Amino acid sequence: MSVSYRQPGVVLTDRRFTVPLDHADPTGETIELYAREAVASDKADQDLPWLVYLQGGPGGKADRFVGRPAWFGRALKEYRVLLLDQRGTGASTPANRQTLPLRGGPAEQADYLAHFRADAIVRDCEAIRPQVTGGAPWTVLGQSFGGFCTVAYLSLAPEGLSAALITGGLPSLDAHADDVYRAAYPRIERKVVAHYARYPQDVERARRIADHLLTHDVVLPNGYRLTVEAFQSLGIMLGGGEGSHRLHFLLEDAFVRTANGHELSDAFQEQTQGLLSYAGRPLYALVHEAIYGQDARPTDWSAERVRAEFPRFDAAKALAGDEPLLFTGESIHPWMFDCDPALRPLRETAELLAARTDWTPLYDPARLAANEVPAAAAVYHDDMYVDTAHALTTARAIRGLRTWVTDEFEHDGVRAGGPRVLDRLLALARDEA
């Protein structure tokens, strides 16, 4: 039963759908999807086209907006919007340390999670689209991993789309995870260097925190073991428009003087555990590298292996000399499943996913080369999360795709840029710009 309610300027309706776990076995096990339908209050009775929003991640639930902020307000001017909690996230059938044991042991859990990639998300969209639109195609807006899903959509079911809009999410069509991370670490270093240029006082602050962590066993209030590698992973913040400033404010109050000497402050620990914990999005950690698996090669903890090729990220070596500590970025490592209490029970499951050798292709280059769906993509110059060179190579491989390459925004431009990013993409897709 659908339930409707109101926020300022918006009418919202909760929608629930049942879809196959494995779309190749439509009569087999099913899971539930949740989506929130939104329409402007003054257009609630109008017959409007649909826009479905695919969140970044993987493993991220759809935004919970209050009112009509950013791109959402722009979309509501002409669309009914469907905010989909992709399978395993949000209010859809969850996949986490509490629910996955219902599947059985680690092997059964890994087999289950193999159905949580972009191809399955596209099939979910196609399964629910007739119920939502009456069969009419819809516009998809894909942010980050949602953009990966959108390229998969153009590959698998372009007939379901009236337009495809992508922000910070053009994947390589054929790169292995190793290729992705070999391109990523130099970008990450550039972001860290830029941060220290903006906030030079943070060089010493970061070194001091790292030195403390190398010589002390620090367990955060939620049970997270804060190692120096975990501290370095806070560099993921540097991929957002305000990330450098937020990191700076976190570092400036890290220590407090106590009767036992200087210790990491409660305030620092509280903020840090919120930034590092995967309790709210465990799928991000579990299937992050699997989104790059497209053949018989295992991902095999790619980010961890490739990191060893970039010794400047070694904290102990940096502290032994006078080098600044380098933060890391959007990468998942096996030690996270030891540090994070939300991930610890899933360590063996993660190992099995990392060793998996039966991944299938997510994209169809021939179909993309013949694309007829109006499509546009925002490519953020030197995006920390998605390699610009990979993105532009893919853009050239999709027939008719128009790109907007900009250094005005970071990876979160669709949120930080208000209505401007969606405005621009719509104009490009409609050949109005």
How do strand 218-219 and strand 161-167 relate by DSSP bridges?
Answer: unpaired
Q: In this model, does residue 20 exceed pLDDT 80?
A: yes
Give pLDDT tens digits for 120-140.
999 999 999 999 999 999 999
Pairing of strands 261-264, 255-258: antiparallel
Expressed in percent and rounded to 5, the helix, strand and coil fractions of the chain are: 45, 20, 40
Answer whether residue 433 shows pLDDT above 90: no
Radius of gyration of the chain (CA): 22
Q: Report the pLDDT averaged over residues 21-37.
A: 97
Nearest partner of 212 among 256, 246, 245, judged by Cα: 256
pLDDT tens, position by position, 231-287: 999 999 999 999 999 999 999 989 999 998 899 999 999 999 999 999 999 999 999
Residue with tokens 């195609």: 137
The CATH code that applies to domain 3-173+363-429 is: 3.40.50.1820
Q: What angle do CA 210, 216, 217 make, to 5 degrees?
A: 110
pLDDT bin (cut points 50, 70, 90) of residue 309 is: very high
Q: Residue 10 pLDDT more than 90?
A: yes
For the segment 249-260, what is each residue's pLDDT rounded down to a tens digit? Answer: 999 989 999 998
What is the Cα–Cα distance from 234 to 17, expressed in whole angstroms? 36
Going by pLDDT thresholds of 50, 70 and 90, the confidence category of residue 190 is very high
Report, as an integer, the average pLDDT of 144-158. Answer: 98
Q: Please list the residue range(s) of the chain that carry CATH number 3.40.50.1820.
A: 3-173+363-429
Please state, in angstroms and rounded to a whole number, the distance separating the CA atoms of residues 120 and 153.
Answer: 10
Q: Is the model's pLDDT at 171 over the cut of 70?
A: yes
Share of the chain above pLDDT 70, in %: 100
State the DSSP string of 235-299: GGGGGSTTHHHHHHHHHHT-EEEETTEEEE-HHHHHHHHHHH--TT-HHHHHHTGGGG--SSS--
Q: Identify the bridge partners of residue 379 per DSSP, sorted by sequence position.
A: 405
Residue 3 predicted with pLDDT over 90: no
State the average pLDDT over residues 302-306. Answer: 98
For residues 388-405, average pLDDT: 98
For the cut 80, the answer to whether the pLDDT of residue 1 exceeds it is no
CA angle 239, 245, 250 (to 5 degrees): 105
Tell me the C-alpha distance between 53 and 81, whole Å. 7
Burial degree of 265 (CB within 10 A; 0-12, 13-18, 19+): middle
By the 8 A CB rule, do 235 and 327 touch?
Answer: yes
Between 3 and 41, whose confidence is greater? 41
- Per-residue pLDDT at 2: 79
Helix H or strand E encompassing 167: strand 161-167
Kindly report, residue by residue over 366-375, the tens digit of the pLDDT.
999 999 999 9
Tokens at 327, concatenated: 């933060």
d(CA 345, CA 279): 12
176-202 b/e with 16+ CB inside 10 Å = b?
A: bbbbbbbbbbebbbebbeebbeebeeb
DSSP 47: -
Nearest residue to 334 via CA among 296, 382, 363, 300: 300
Q: What pLDDT score does 305 carry?
A: 98
Q: In angstroms, rounded to a whole number, what is the distance separating the alpha carbons of residues 332 and 278?
A: 11
* Residues recognised as catalytic: 144, 358, 411
CA dihedral 120, 122, 128, 132 (to 10 degrees): 160
For the chain, give the mean pLDDT. 97
H helix or E strand, kind and range, residue 55: none
**Are the beta carbons of 65 and 11 closer than 8 angstroms?**
no
Is the model's pLDDT at 386 over the cut of 90? yes
